[in-house]
Amino acid sequence: MNADHEKCSECGLCKANCPVYRALLDESVSARGKAKLMKNKISSGMFFVCTLCRACKQLCPANLDLDFEGEREKLIADGKETDANKRMIGNIRKYGNPFGKEGEKPKELHCC
Ligand code: SF4
Ligand code: SF4
């Protein structure tokens, strides 16, 4: 894990590019919100509320590369994986696809 979160000035410029923030208008899902959690060493399910698109990095004046994947790894190691992730991985192991029974199309498809 890198320590870029320690360099976050909390300017908030990244929020304009974050698709999750723009959809939910919730500060805690923004890169700034997540950086604050990381600075305070708070492990949170909020790290799963992220597309990992890195659009926040594009607008960050310090070009910070916040390690959201590392935070997810820690959550999973602590057994705090989401039910949706567990289901998806179980389906891949059992059926070879993330949706479920072999050959059965899902009724709905969602992106993230
Ligand atoms: S990686 Fe994408 S979704 Fe996650 S905080 Fe950055 S801009 Fe938002
Ligand atoms: S733009 Fe960069 S420095 Fe500013 S709040 Fe976002 S991550 Fe932190």
* Span 53-76, pLDDT tens digits: 999 999 999 999 999 999 999 999
* Ligand index nearest the alpha carbon of residue 65: 2
Residue 4 has pLDDT above 90, yes or no: yes
- Whole-number Å distance, alpha carbon 21 to ligand 1 midpoint, is 8
What pLDDT does 77 receive?
93
- Environment class of 38 (CB within 10 Å of its CB; exposed 0-12, middle 13-18, buried 19+): buried
pLDDT in tens, 87-107: 888 888 988 888 887 666 666
| Predicted local distance difference test score (pLDDT) of residue 105 | 64
Q: What is the reported pLDDT for 98? A: 85
Across 24-34, average pLDDT: 95
Q: pLDDT value at position 96?
A: 84
**Hey, which of 4, 11, 38 would you mutate to test ligand 2's pocket, going by the most ligand atoms within 8 Å of its Cβ?**
11
Report which of residues 26 and 85 the model is more confident about: 26
Quote the pLDDT of residue 16: 95
The dihedral built from the CA positions of residue 87, 89, 94 and 96, taken in this order, carries a sign that is positive
Residues having CB closer than 6 A to ligand 2 are: 8-14, 31-32, 35, 56, 59-60, 62, 64
- Of all helices (H) and strands (E), which one includes residue 86? helix 83-95
